[in-house]
Structure 1
Amino acid sequence: MRRLVPVTDETVVDARGGTTGGDGAWGPAELAAAYAYPESAAGVRPVPWLRANMVSSLDGAAEHDGRSAPLSGPADQRVFHTLRALADAVVIGAETVRHEGYGPARAGTGFEAARAAAGQGVAPAIAVVSAGLDLDFTLPLFAEPLVPTLVVTGAGAPAEGVAAAEKAGVKVVFAGDGASVDPGRVVAVLGGLGFTRLLAEGGPRLLGQMVASDVLDEMCVTFSPTLAAGDAQRIAWGPAVPDPLRFALVSLMEEDGFLFGRYRRA
């Protein structure tokens, strides 16, 4: 892994525009420092802070054949697991749970001490956003989690779905007055439960709703050196915003042709 932006006193810019010095094999500590959640001058984190993490092909595809895994690689997986290890809760849409075969979050190797020091559990909670609650609550994600999985839905969700979730021991929280889920309320409700370091992993529909609701604080994007073509979705899909939301580049890293961009609300 090499850091391209920002260029620090420890980074030497070579004649080819690359970087050398201090950028060898990055372990958990180096990656955790690179992606640390922000703190105020008083050492208090903003409450809550929502970051998203997505992978995109060179031609803008968020998936290939319905899954994001074909666009990924070893370096991207290290960043993926680092972002999870830093989070209190991982927010995902029900469609992504079904298509990606999501299982329970596991304890991240090398991050145990850091999570304990931050007052976090052994692994982040998974918060599944679903309006219709059309979910299989016998899946390991719900039946065998290290940390109890949550389902976030609207107050008008089907009663039978709520009953099925609760019968399976899944905590149901409501973020919206009607049948749909309000992304802004999702952030507030999870923050009220103590989940202040939030990580959204998609899919494109959920991320699109978050963008339209203007609740995203940070966007982490892996640019994969692949071309997918076809009719794949972009990383965010949904209602348009009146004007493009402006984010500022915080850092850019590279490994094996993959670019890892980190952007914050400008």
Structure 2
Amino acid sequence: MLHRDDVLARYAVADRTLPHLRMNFISSLDGSATQGGLSGGLNNADDKLVFDTLRMLSDVILLGAGTLRDEGYGAMRLDDEAVRWRVQHGLAPQPTFALVSSRLGLPATHPVFADAPVRPLVLTHDAAPPDARDELASVADVVLVGSGAVDPWLLRGALEQRGLLQVLCEGGPHLFGTFLAADAVDELCLTLSPVLEGGHAGRIAVGPEETPRRMHLASVLQADDMLLLRYLRDPATDAAGSRAATGR
């Protein structure tokens, strides 16, 4: 069984003053993102500890509307121990919840809004239904971050303007794919569940085209047969891209 102090040491961000977006996903050994249609079918108590710790370390938790519906999310609320840790370390008692949605199909009465400890954000674009925008504006700050579609970099900029620099994205695969295509992912926290699934379940990232991005393995935690991996952007790849862009 993992201990929180060890998990904290492995997943702490080196400099919280710099914007940082981390993805957190779980996968079977053969690449399935779900078991029985839900990601929760693949996890255990050790993965849950990492999941909760990543939330505790974050300024804002980002989630796609489809994943919220599929996984049955309620209000984002940390327990008392996590709140005490955050306050002791100069953080807000609770992270902000930010929902990414194009159609805005969730009612204002949904628990993720109605029971939220902090006023949530809804991140959408200028073509989202105006009536739905007005309804959700009564329970959340609705922010337009794109023309016709959500722009990952405009989204990140909107969060940064609110002082929400440490971003944790919990899904889903299409949101991950969109951020990957925009080269807007700084980190992937990936749990490898020791099962083979087969079937037709999707991957953790889905996008219209291949967008290779070299990552650097930052840490590995082993909990029995489960592996908890932390990957960061490869600085050598970033440096090569910068040299190519500047001709140096």
TM-score, normalising length from structure 1?
0.84
1:204 to 173, 177, 201: 173
For the pair 1:174 / 2:144, whether they are aligned, the reply is: yes
Moved more, 98-107 or 116-125: 116-125
Tell me the CA shift for residue 166 of structure 1.
1.3
Tell me the CA shift for residue 211 of structure 1.
0.5
Q: Structure 2 vs 1, CA of residues 222 and 109 (structure 1 numbering), >3 Å: closer, same or farther?
A: farther
**Partner residue, 1:36:** 12
Alpha-carbon RMSD across the aligned residues, in angstroms, is 1.5
Tell me the CA shift for residue 140 of structure 1.
0.9
For the pair 1:100 / 2:76, whether they are aligned, the reply is: no
1:45 to 5, 17, 23: 17
2:203 to 218, 223, 234: 234
**Partner residue, 2:119:** 148
**Partner residue, 1:83:** 54
In structure 2, C-alpha distance between the alignment counterparts of 1:218 and 1:108, rounded to whole Å: 25
**Partner residue, 2:213:** 245
Deviations 1:144-203 (A, max 9, x none): 111122110012211011011013x21111111x22101111111111111101001010
- Does structure 2 retain, via aligned residues, the 8 Å contact 1:85–1:107? yes
In structure 1, C-alpha distance between the alignment counterparts of 2:23 and 2:172, rounded to whole Å: 10
Moved more, 30-39 or 230-239: 30-39
More helix by share: 2
TM-score, normalising length from structure 2?
0.90
- Does structure 1 retain, via aligned residues, the 8 Å contact 2:84–2:93? no
For the pair 1:134 / 2:105, whether they are aligned, the reply is: yes
Tell me the CA shift for residue 109 of structure 1.
4.5
For the pair 1:221 / 2:190, whether they are aligned, the reply is: yes
Tell me the CA shift for residue 233 of structure 1.
0.8
Q: Structure 2 vs 1, CA of residues 188 and 69 (structure 1 numbering), >3 Å: closer, same or farther?
A: same
Q: Which amino acid aligns with 1:33?
A: A
Deviations 1:26-60 (A, max 9, x none): 1x333222111121xxxx621x1100100000110
Q: Which amino acid aligns with 2:94?
A: A
Aligned residues: 234
Q: Which amino acid aligns with 2:193?
A: S
In structure 1, C-alpha distance between the alignment counterparts of 2:95 and 2:152, rounded to whole Å: 19
- Does structure 2 retain, via aligned residues, the 8 Å contact 1:208–1:238? yes
Deviations 1:183-226 (A, max 9, x none): 11111111111110100101001001111110000110000011
Unaligned runs of 5+ in 1: 2-24
In structure 1, C-alpha distance between the alignment counterparts of 2:101 and 2:89, rounded to whole Å: 29
SS for the counterpart of 1:111 is helix
Unaligned runs of 5+ in 2: 235-248
**Partner residue, 1:255:** 223
Deviations 1:50-84 (A, max 9, x none): 00100000110111232101011111000000000
Moved more, 51-60 or 132-141: 132-141
Tell me the CA shift for residue 108 of structure 1.
3.6
- Does structure 2 retain, via aligned residues, the 8 Å contact 1:88–1:197? yes
In structure 2, C-alpha distance between the alignment counterparts of 1:91 and 1:201, rounded to whole Å: 6
Tell me the CA shift for residue 110 of structure 1.
3.2
Q: Which amino acid aligns with 1:180?
A: A
